[in-house]
Every structure is written in C-alpha cells, then in structure tokens.
A and B are shown apart, each in its own frame.
Chain A
C-alpha cells in the first residue's frame, strides 16, 4: 500500500474501520467464512455511485466517529447507516486535497461505506480484500493509516449520480423480515416456533461481524446434533434459547439447531439493526 500514492489518511477511526468487498467464495470446505461487507447492498451502491465495479474494496465504518484527510483530489461516495456527515450521503462528491471528511451523530443503522473512484488498494486473501482479523486477513486501518487507490481512473464523465430516497431502506423502524423454515424447524415444539414468530426481538450488544444475538423470551431448544453446515443468515438456537443470526464472518459449521434461515435479500437490511433496536420475523411461503 505504501508504494502507491496515498489518497486518504485516517485521522480518527471511530468505532472501527475495515476494508471490505463482496467477499470470498469456494473456501468454506476449509473453514473459511465468506466475509464481505455486512450491508452488501449499501457497499454495492457506494461503489456504483463512483463508477466502480459493485464489488470493489470500500471502507466499512462501524457506527460513527471516523475522520479522514483527503491527500489527493478524489471522487467519493458514502452509503449505509443514517449518519451525519459534512459531505452528502447517497451521492458522489469530489473533495480537493486538504479537505476533511468527518462523521457525526448516528441516527439509525450500524454500518457506513465510503467508496472511492478506482477502489481502495488492498491485498487479497482467497480472492477478496475483506478484512477478517481472526483469520489473519487484512491490514489494520487506524489513525495514521494512509490508503491508496487501486486503479487510477480518469475523472467521471457523469458528474452527478445519486440514490433516490424512495429506494433507500429506512433504518429507524422495526423491520419485519422474511425467514424460511430451517432444517431443524420441525424439531422445535409449537410453542417455541410460535414465540419465535410472534415476539419482537431485541439485538444484543454481543453482536459482531460473525453474528447478531437476539434477546427476548427464550425458546426451548433440546435438540442435540453433530456439527452441521451453516450459512450467512442461518438462525441457530443455542441451549440458552436466545437465537443467533449468523453473518459474514461467522462459522462454517455449527452444532446448534437451525430454526430458520433469513431470506438472502433481507440480510443487508438486518445487519443495519443496531444493538438495542428491535426486529421481527415472518415466515415466507
């Protein structure tokens, strides 16, 4: 990264910054999680706003507090959480060298994405730049880190792109997300299945890129089974009775019964449910 011309310097990392793209596939048989941006949909939109491939490396910002210094005039875009920023979100914008970008109060959501025209330069592990510190993938992004562009692209010909408000997700409201019956659905009793679908769950503070824990009235879970395959969106119920929704850096196999599976197209929305906020589930047909 150091050998290329730096375009952006991190002044403050807020709750955390990592480089993410659309993740890696084909390696789960060796215990490698798919990784990738938690809210893939917002990361994709941020990239498209600056004319990148949808899966180019972006910066994933947790909550808020990040601050950057622009070292080389650049075209950027921000998408994701509803966060205050001194630059417009959901549209491309140009910052001249010496300009700063800082993130203020967070209104709703969890993850924000900062994309740069040309994508951020980053090494790949199994074909993806997605950071996963536990697996040893990705370099630390912290105050002082200087980031470079992967591809030097000429300035955009289309001067202005934006995502209309109409098609953006609302993160302030309690979502009702569609789920499929999981392989062990029939192994839970009627009461447990009813409680799962009828109650409003709260996202636990013990949530991260591997999975979000749900707090509420515990579900009775007596099933014991040998470790079985899981995937992003699988909803496991450990003996505590509090479900865990597995996400991008989650395990590849697990020994807890899989009650339900979150509809793939709702995973991005789910990841924007902040700890302490509520979510409900409804069975798809």
Chain B
C-alpha cells in the first residue's frame, strides 16, 4: 500500500494515516491494514483503534513504539486493501416509529414514506465501530437524509434506536445519551453485555468494520 504515513502519537503509540477522504476505498485500505496487524504481531501491541482515515497502534511501553517504527512502515508497504464486497451482509429489521421521524421528514422537505424509502434503499458499509460498545457508523448516507445533530441531545436514547446524525446513520448499541435523530428501532441485539462477561468474545458484537448492512422496514417484529 502506498501513501501511508506513520508518526508518533504520544510516548507509547503510533498513528497510521492511510487516506485523506472517506469512501469505500479508504475503508478497504483500513480493513487491509487491520488484517496485516492481526497476521503480523508487533511486540507489546495492546490495542488497535481503526477510524475513517487513520488507525492507532498502542503499545505497553514507549520502547515498543519507538523501536518498531520501521517494522510498521514495512508492514504498511506490503499490506493490500481488502475490498468490502467480500464482507458479510446483515439484514436488520427496523420499525420506523421513532420520536423524531416526522420532524426529521419536515426539516428535510420529505414525506415520511420518502424518508423510509431513502433510508432502506442502500446497502450500507460499517465504516467504523465507536462511540459506545459496538455502535456502527454506517454509510454512505443519501445526501437528502443529512441533518445536523439535535441542539439538545437526549439524556437517554434506548438501545436499538436507529438514527441519523450529520452524514451518518447508526444504531444505538446500548442505552446512552445521544444527539442523533431517532427514526426507528430494531430488535437486533447490536451488543450483548452477557457475551462480554469473563474474558469476553467478539461474538458480543453483531457487526464488524466493513460489514454490509441493509435495513428492512417492518410493521412489527416477528416474535
């Protein structure tokens, strides 16, 4: 992979910058790099945090960061982008009865059925997991559905809320404060605290970075 830069991020971490705009190509590059760091263990690596255009490698000790800059640079060179077309598709049922649905349609000059149609049409990619446990940032979102965050965030948004904030759509994985427009809800379990018990497992999370998601509109959830 070319055009990738590695720099220090404080004493014990390295920042890898691999893109300067957000699209499926940047996502494919991120997936490729994540795969490369999984296959080639770096000494003392304790955490890897992927984001849109960069990822962070955190080490247990400063020496492990400073000594491995060249090794990381080599891994970056040999890494290959991993296209998202190979990722699994998740169909997620959504009941569009959110408290902000009508207001959202009005402010975007759309009818409620239009909003639902535009929101359910694409196959989204999980660009990022962050904010709270397992919370997927999905995109690209139809520009007609862009909307700035709410001026007054809610102190508590229920888990399973399907929402839009800025240029992203996502699913609240746990009950938390939130400033996105709530369009609907799903009964899919995005994050399972039970599967986080003891050592925990990746099965605690329904979705991974790069996965594909399609929303299916439903009147109510099948039991």
User: Which residues does A use to contact B, with CB under 8 Å?
Assistant: 25-32, 34, 123-127, 134-137, 180, 182-183, 226-231, 233-234, 251-253, 261-265
Q: Are A253 and B197 in contact (CB under 8 A)?
A: no
Chain B residues with CB under 8 Å of A137's CB are 193, 196
Chain A residues with CB under 8 Å of B62's CB are 264
Given contacts A180-B9, A227-B128, 8 further A-B pairs with CB under 8 A are: A29-B50, A30-B133, A34-B47, A123-B197, A125-B200, A227-B137, A229-B54, A230-B56
Instruction: Report which of A29, A31, A226, A265 forms a contact with B132, defined as CB distance below 8 A.
Output: A31
Report the count of interface residues on B (CB-CB < 8 A): 46
Q: Are B47 and A25 in contact (CB under 8 A)?
A: yes
Q: Are A31 and B52 in contact (CB under 8 A)?
A: no
> Cβ of B182 < 8 Å from any Cβ of A?
no
Q: Are B174 and A135 in contact (CB under 8 A)?
A: yes
B46 (CB) vs chain A CBs: closest residue: A25
6 contacts between A and B (CB under 8 A): A29-B50, A30-B133, A135-B133, A180-B8, A252-B49, A253-B130
B11 (CB) vs chain A CBs: closest residue: A264
Chain B residues with CB under 8 Å of A226's CB are 22, 51-53
Q: Are A26 and B11 in contact (CB under 8 A)?
A: no
Q: Are B193 and A125 in contact (CB under 8 A)?
A: yes
Q: Are A231 and B197 in contact (CB under 8 A)?
A: no
Encoded as 1 (CB less than 8 Å from any A CB) or 0, chain B from 1 to 22 comes to 0000001111111010100001
B204: min CB distance to chain A, Å = 8
With A227-B51, A229-B49 as given contacts, are A251 and B200 in contact (CB-CB < 8 Å)? Answer: no
Chain A residues with CB under 8 Å of B12's CB are 264
Chain A residues with CB under 8 Å of B173's CB are 31
B207 (CB) vs chain A CBs: closest residue: A30
Chain A residues with CB under 8 Å of B51's CB are 226-229, 253
Encoded as 1 (CB less than 8 Å from any A CB) or 0, chain B from 51 to 76 comes to 11111101000100000000000000
Secondary structure of the B contact surface, majority rule: mixed
A231 to B128, CA, bound (A): 16
Instruction: Report which of B34, B128, B132, B198 forms a contact with A134, defined as CB distance below 8 A.
Output: B132
A126 to B55, CA, bound (A): 22
With A30-B202, A253-B131 as given contacts, are A231 and B193 in contact (CB-CB < 8 Å)? Answer: no
A125 to B134, CA, bound (A): 14
A182 to B22, CA, bound (A): 21
Q: Are B174 and A229 in contact (CB under 8 A)?
A: no
- Beta-carbon contacts under 8 Å, B179-202 to A: 193, 196-200, 202
A265 to B12, CA, bound (A): 11
Q: Are A127 and B13 in contact (CB under 8 A)?
A: no
Chain A residues with CB under 8 Å of B105's CB are none
With A25-B46, A231-B56 as given contacts, are A261 and B128 in contact (CB-CB < 8 Å)? Answer: no
Instruction: Report which of A29, A134, A230, A262 forms a contact with B174, defined as CB distance below 8 A.
Output: A134
Q: Are B10 and A264 in contact (CB under 8 A)?
A: yes
Q: Are A227 and B132 in contact (CB under 8 A)?
A: no
B8 (CB) vs chain A CBs: closest residue: A180
> Cβ of B118 < 8 Å from any Cβ of A?
no
Chain A residues with CB under 8 Å of B199's CB are 124, 126-127
Chain A residues with CB under 8 Å of B131's CB are 31, 251-253
Instruction: Report which of A31, A231, A234 forms a contact with B135, defined as CB distance below 8 A.
Output: A31
Q: Are B134 and A30 in contact (CB under 8 A)?
A: yes
Chain B residues with CB under 8 Å of A32's CB are 133
Q: Are A261 and B196 in contact (CB under 8 A)?
A: no
A125 to B209, CA, bound (A): 22
A107: min CB distance to chain B, Å = 31
> Cβ of B129 < 8 Å from any Cβ of A?
yes
> Cβ of B48 < 8 Å from any Cβ of A?
yes
With A29-B34, A136-B193 as given contacts, are A126 and B200 in contact (CB-CB < 8 Å)? Answer: yes
A216 to B218, CA, bound (A): 51
